[in-house]
Amino acid sequence: MDDEVHLVWLKRDLRLRDHRCFHEVGRRCAMGHKMLAVYVYEPIVYQAPEFDVSHLYFLNECLLELREGLRRLGGELLILRGEVVRVFEQVRRHFGVTHLWAHEENGNATTFDRDLKVAAWAREQGVLFQEFPQNGVIRRLSDRDGWAERWNRRMQQDVMQIPALMHSPEVRHTGDILDAAALGLVDREMVERQVGGEDEAHEVLESFLYHRGTRYRSEMSSPVTAYDACSRLSPYLSFGCISVKEAYRIGRARLSQIKVGEVPLGTVTVWKQSLRSYLSRLRWHCHFMQKMEDQVDIDCVNIARAYDGLRGENQEMLERWAEGRTGYPMVDACMRAVKATGWLNFRMRAMVMSFASYHLWLDWRETGLVLARYFVDYEPGIHWSQVQMQSGTTGINSVRVYSPIKQAVDQDPEGVFIKKWVPELAEVPVAYIAQPELMPAMEQTFSQCLIGEDYPRPIVDHQLAYRDAQRRIRAIRTIPEARVEAQQVYQKHGSRSSRRHKRSS
């Protein structure tokens, strides 16, 4: 029928390339059908405790670029606000929508319930609703066995190209991009922030695969080098500016090109190692998202319930950790940096979460929300899986209590990163940069950094906190019931890719 109107619901799939919904609708536009894309600013999303204005900045940049791209093809993007079912009903009545297309969203219980309501509305109104997977996450997965093979098959599928044309009905008002004030969010200044959009995603990936990624494996752990050495693709994957499949296929193609003469002499081996690590991390990206798909409440309950009631609340410690005022320079530098830029490398993410959970003994639900707001690349499944891993509440992962002192010495030996983000320590000698509280009084005066005044004393004693945390966690792990539960958790969530890594999933 020529009068069919197809609605493409955009959530975290803000791109034109390798977009199954646009591909399907583009084929129908070629037969005379009409299409409209729609993004809805939903109160359940932007009022959620994990949402931050940094996410809005990135989101809005994605929407602006996508709207322009659709218009060049003859399509249109509606940008609306409200409860999504009500919005869709208004759009259906006005435009006579007959079909609804969307990608599966691997979010939390709130977005999952929202999706169920949309599906029910579509059935009631006779709107044909079709959803597609857009990554390696398997919906309604019954068993983890064979998951890696299924992921590989998905990654081998062809990348769908941008449709040649779209046809949208006449639209008088397409909606506006809404800023922080319009949504009731607190605005704040950020620096060195990544810019959203599909074009940016491909530029970032290209710069990594052809230039920045040479020392990826050796330089990913230090915050001094990681900002350049890491792919920096994570926010673009989280907002769907590029699909996991396309990021994987492009990486595989680049790996096959690496040979003598293609890259500088002596770099073939390190380039191949870096690209293989990059490709493996794309699989781990989906592996952790699969955990929340299989257990939607891992953002609010312990994966292993044996750890229920383990930690409490301490508002003062929570605030000092969140603002980077713990007296541990590496922790403080990381917390200030990620709040200002929206990004932090993986090892430092693990360290600040470990410090909050073990040294400060704070409940991961509260600290996890702080980091969710700080991370522009916040991806629920990955985030909450990692938060629980670093807090020791999965029952199957090794207990890793990072020493913030050792991390400073190992990863920032010259204090470059620390001095950038903790300017109070700018004149502190390198010998004391990991533990400025050890400076003699005269050295503090010379460094213009009086401990306890210009920079705080350590909030806790590292050795005491470390031993106490190990004791508490190990006490639970020796309980027979906790061991049985750990086996059940592994059966549900553990990686099956390699026997050697069963206990590190």
CATH 1.10.579.10 intervals, the chain: 305-495
CATH architecture of 305-495: Orthogonal Bundle (1.10)
Q: Can you tell me whether residue 436 is helix, strand or coil? A: helix
Query: Which class is 198-294 in CATH?
Result: mainly alpha
**Sequence-ordered strand ranges (E) for 119-272:** 128-132
Question: pLDDT at position 501, please?
Answer: 39
Superfamily of segment(s) 5-134: HUPs (3.40.50.620)
Question: pLDDT at position 505, please?
Answer: 37
Low-confidence spans in the chain with pLDDT less than 70: 1-2, 496-505
Question: pLDDT at position 254, please?
Answer: 95
Show contacts of 205-214: CB within 8 Å, 24+ apart: 205/231, 205/233, 205/236, 205/242, 205/247, 205/250, 205/251, 208/232, 208/233, 208/278, 209/250, 209/251, 209/254, 209/275, 210/254, 213/271, 213/274, 213/275, 213/278, 214/267, 214/270, 214/271, 214/274
Task: Give the Cα-Cα-Cα angle 101, 88, 45 (nearest 5 degrees).
Answer: 90
CATH 3.40.50.620 intervals, the chain: 5-134
Show contacts of 464-469: CB within 8 Å, 24+ apart: 465/358, 465/359, 465/360, 465/361, 466/358, 466/359, 466/401, 466/403, 468/361, 469/357, 469/358, 469/359, 469/361, 469/399, 469/401
CATH 1.25.40 intervals, the chain: 198-294
Compute CA distances 173 → 25, 39, 48, 144, 394, whole Å.
Answer: 22, 14, 28, 47, 49
What b/e readout covers 466-491, taking b as 16+ CB neighbours within 10 angstroms? Answer: beebeebbeebeeeeebeebbeebbe
- Amino acid of residue 157: Q
